[in-house]
Structure 1
Amino acid sequence: MTDGPWHCRHKRAVDVAIAAAFVLLDTGTTLAGATWWPDHPGTLAWVMLGVQALACASLAFRRAAPLTVIGVLGAFTLAVTLLVSPAGLLTPAHGGGVWAPLSTMLAAYGPLFHRCDRRTAYVALALFTLVVMRPWEPSVTNMTIGLLRTAVGPLLALYFDTRRRLVQALVERAERAERERHLLAERARAEERARLAGEMHDVVTHRVSLMVLQAGALRVTAPDEATRRAAEDLRAAGCQALEELRDLVGILRTEPEGDRTPSVAGFADLVAESVAVGIPTELIEEGDPALASPVVGRTAYRVLREALTNVRKHAPGARVRVRVEYQHAQVRLTVRNTPPADGPRSALAGTGSGLGIGHLRQRIELVHGTLRAGPTSDGGFGVEATLPAFVPTAESAVRG
């Protein structure tokens, strides 16, 4: 469901209600004798009153076809004008008035605000103004009222359209500034990584090098073979630690080129792998996966992978249901399994560090999400992760 106020989500209903209100308003003012209604209405007058109601009802399409609404109301006004004079078939109770219905004010608003071709809109409004003003029957009062009827709407439309463009430009500028801020944060983070890598290299390498040198000296000076062998093992371990430290520092000094973890598109593959090893797994996806930004998709993929791995370790024979809900504001991933058909496989249950859920919770908190994991009422286990749909990163900033 689209977010926003009710009147923005139901524009057609609002237009129909406005059209109905103007139909009642113009019908009432006409019957009250404020426009072209005669003292003794005949069949033609009642027919024209019905035609006026239909013309005012065209306001329901003022967004989709604003020029058509202008044309319908202009044609009705011109028809009434010709029936009054020179045809003489209608004799208004109050002569010399403005024959156009009040709906013309709202109709004149549409062409400029709803992005019609400006040149065509100006031509249509000019012709519409001539019909309403009736300059061939000069009257200062009627021409002034007629001009106001058709000029106020376009002026308001130009104002609101300009304001809308200005707000849109400000929003785009704010989004661009936000992307630049994230890029600067990424750059500062990379510089900090390089600084920490250098300090760690200097401190740790110095101490480990001393250990290696002392072990080498002990290997040469030790009086017995056992001590020399232990010193050699210590020296070899120290050298290996230096090599691994050098590799680690190199990784820290180099900014990662991108996370290779699959995103939401990899959910089906994870489920297929689980089914292939004998774990009945069902995947239910609701909404548009495109709503999840890349970093959110990769985080959700890790959650699902860890959850399915735990099921294989601790709940053999259980059935698993995976539900993913994509919404505009958030992505919710729920993994629930039934109680295990057999006891946990000790060979698998004993593997791992036991920190998988904890590490996932830390990763999810970094993107301002939440993770809940624990036993369910039926004896199974459930994992539920709620993530924001969009998390700005340097990657998304560059794309923007």
Structure 2
Amino acid sequence: MSVGPWHRRHPLAVDAALAICFALGDIALTLTGATWWPERPGPLAWTLLGLQALACLSLVARRRAPLTVVAVLGAFTLALTLLISPAHALTPANPGNVWAPFSTALAAYGPLFYGKNARNRRTAFLALGIFTLIVARAWEPSLTVITIGLLRTAVGPLLALYFDARRRLVCALTERAERAERERYLLAEQACAEERARLAGEMHDVVTHRVSLMVLQAGALRVTASDEATRRAAEELRAAGCQALEELRDLVGILRTAPEDDPTPSLDGFAALVAESTAAGVPVELAERGDRSLASPVVGRTAYRTVREALTNVHKHAPGARVTVEVEYDETRVRVAVRNTRPSGGPNSELVRTGSGLGIAGLRQRIELVHGSLRAGPEPDGGFCVEAVLPAFVPTAESMV
């Protein structure tokens, strides 16, 4: 389930509401004589009015089949026009009006905005050209009808072209910004790796030189010493120096090697945390809303640490409380909230002494590193709440794989 504005999550309901509104509006305009309605309507006029309503209701498919909607409204307008002239089966009260329903304006918007490729775009231009000729009744030249007909079928496509170009521009700028931010993070990681290698090299050069001199001097002392105790002490000093050199080589190798991936679980570890807390006697309810894939890996691990730290504090300070974990995924942010009710007992002193008291402070620093925010404090009902708001996407080298 994606998170976003209601009209984006329910496009079919929006299109159905628009289709009904336009159908009712066209019926009202027709009955008031703004289009083709005759002075003395007969069965044919009422039948055409019903067909017009059905044609307008085809707007419900304007996203999935925009050309079909144009074809339906165009066919109705053409049939109505032919019945009026040259068939003379219907005589409008105002012959100088545009006979096409006003729904044609919204129908003309769809083919260009919802077209998937260049081929569909060419077909859309051709269909809209024919549509314009039908609506404007080009075979019966009238300045008023042609002007209104052109406006009716041109405003929608022009708006569609504008919004489509704007959408493409926003997508391109967003992609460019994300790429630039990923490159910035990669450059920062590369600089850290180079600095780590430089420090490792300097440590190796400086410390190895001094320890090597100590080992050599201890070896010389072992050879030149006159008594056994001195020779034994010199040998122990030489062996310790050699061991220090080996450990230094191992340490330098670690510093020169890029750190491995963070083993901290991510978003899929929430269920395990909840199960562990429940097994330990602290009932926890987990509620997740939205799409997990919207959160980048580093955000997922930060959210996991937030929940883990909050549950740990509940175990220490709020025994007997009920806990609710809420995780909400949005296109721009991830919100994590851990709330507990008023505890039924006092804090566990043995568990409290095991902590450093810096859990929330360290968690706040970690969240601020990814440009998030943390709120931790008591609730009006006597409980406690830890709430973190994190950006949904934090670019790292891991997110580019």
**Does the TM-score normalized on the shorter chain lie above 0.5?**
yes
8 Å contact kept, 2:310–2:338: no
CA distance in structure 1 between the aligned counterparts of 2:181 and 2:263, rounded to whole angstroms: 25
Match of 1:292 in 2: 295
Task: Point out the more displaced range, 8-17 or 296-305.
Answer: 8-17
2:176 to 173, 177, 188: 173
> Is 1:3 aligned to residue 7 of structure 2?
no
Give TM-score scaled by structure 1 length.
0.74
Equivalenced residues, count: 392
Shift of 1:325: 0.9
CA distance in structure 2 between the aligned counterparts of 1:393 and 1:222, rounded to whole angstroms: 63
Match of 1:110 in 2: 110
Q: Secondary structure at the match of 1:332?
A: strand
Residues 1-400 of structure 1 mapped to structure 2, 5 A cutoff: 2-4=3-5, 8=8, 11-12=11-12, 14-15=14-15, 18-19=18-19, 22-23=22-23, 25-95=25-95, 97-115=97-115, 117-118=120-121, 120-139=123-142, 142-143=145-146, 145-205=148-208, 242-272=245-275, 278-280=280-282, 282=284, 284-287=286-289, 288-304=291-307, 321=323, 323-328=325-330, 329-332=333-336, 334=338, 338=343, 344-345=349-350, 358-370=361-373, 385-396=388-399, 398-399=400-401
Q: Secondary structure at the match of 2:327?
A: strand
CA distance in structure 2 between the aligned counterparts of 1:371 and 1:206, rounded to whole angstroms: 48
Give TM-score scaled by structure 2 length.
0.74
CA distance in structure 1 between the aligned counterparts of 2:7 and 2:386, rounded to whole angstroms: 38
CA distance in structure 2 between the aligned counterparts of 1:145 and 1:394, rounded to whole angstroms: 57
CA distance in structure 2 between the aligned counterparts of 1:15 and 1:293, rounded to whole angstroms: 33
1:233–1:171 Cα change, 3 Å = same
* Superimposed CA distance per residue, residues 144-180 of structure 1 (whole angstroms, 9 cap, x where no aligned partner): 5544533443344334323432332332233222222
CA distance in structure 2 between the aligned counterparts of 1:236 and 1:380, rounded to whole angstroms: 60
1:77–1:330 Cα change, 3 Å = same
Q: Secondary structure at the match of 2:260?
A: coil
8 Å contact kept, 1:304–1:335: no
Task: Point out the more displaced range, 253-262 or 196-205.
Answer: 196-205
8 Å contact kept, 1:70–1:128: yes
1:229–1:374 Cα change, 3 Å = farther
Counting aligned pairs with the same residue, the percent is 67
Shift of 1:258: 1.8
1:325–1:306 Cα change, 3 Å = closer
CA distance in structure 2 between the aligned counterparts of 1:39 and 1:316, rounded to whole angstroms: 80
RMSD: 4.5
Shift of 1:106: 2.3
The code of the aligned residue for 1:84 comes to I
* Superimposed CA distance per residue, residues 104-163 of structure 1 (whole angstroms, 9 cap, x where no aligned partner): 222222122122634553454344334324455455654555445334433443343234
8 Å contact kept, 1:339–1:379: no
8 Å contact kept, 2:314–2:340: no
8 Å contact kept, 2:136–2:145: yes
8 Å contact kept, 2:104–2:152: yes
Shift of 1:393: 1.0
1:310–1:12 Cα change, 3 Å = closer
8 Å contact kept, 1:318–1:341: no
8 Å contact kept, 1:291–1:326: no
The code of the aligned residue for 2:334 comes to Q
CA distance in structure 1 between the aligned counterparts of 2:146 and 2:310, rounded to whole angstroms: 76
The code of the aligned residue for 2:78 comes to L
Q: Secondary structure at the match of 2:197?
A: helix
CA distance in structure 2 between the aligned counterparts of 1:95 and 1:311, rounded to whole angstroms: 79
8 Å contact kept, 2:373–2:390: yes
8 Å contact kept, 1:291–1:389: yes
CA distance in structure 1 between the aligned counterparts of 2:159 and 2:240, rounded to whole angstroms: 80
What are structure 2's unaligned runs of at least 5 residues?
none
Shift of 1:353: 6.2
8 Å contact kept, 1:279–1:319: no
The code of the aligned residue for 2:169 comes to L
CA distance in structure 2 between the aligned counterparts of 1:33 and 1:166, rounded to whole angstroms: 44
Q: Secondary structure at the match of 1:330?
A: strand
The code of the aligned residue for 1:77 comes to T
* Superimposed CA distance per residue, residues 211-248 of structure 1 (whole angstroms, 9 cap, x where no aligned partner): 778888999989997x9999988877666555444333
CA distance in structure 2 between the aligned counterparts of 1:214 and 1:378, rounded to whole angstroms: 72
* Superimposed CA distance per residue, residues 266-292 of structure 1 (whole angstroms, 9 cap, x where no aligned partner): 34445555666x555535141244343
Shift of 1:98: 3.1
The code of the aligned residue for 1:325 comes to V
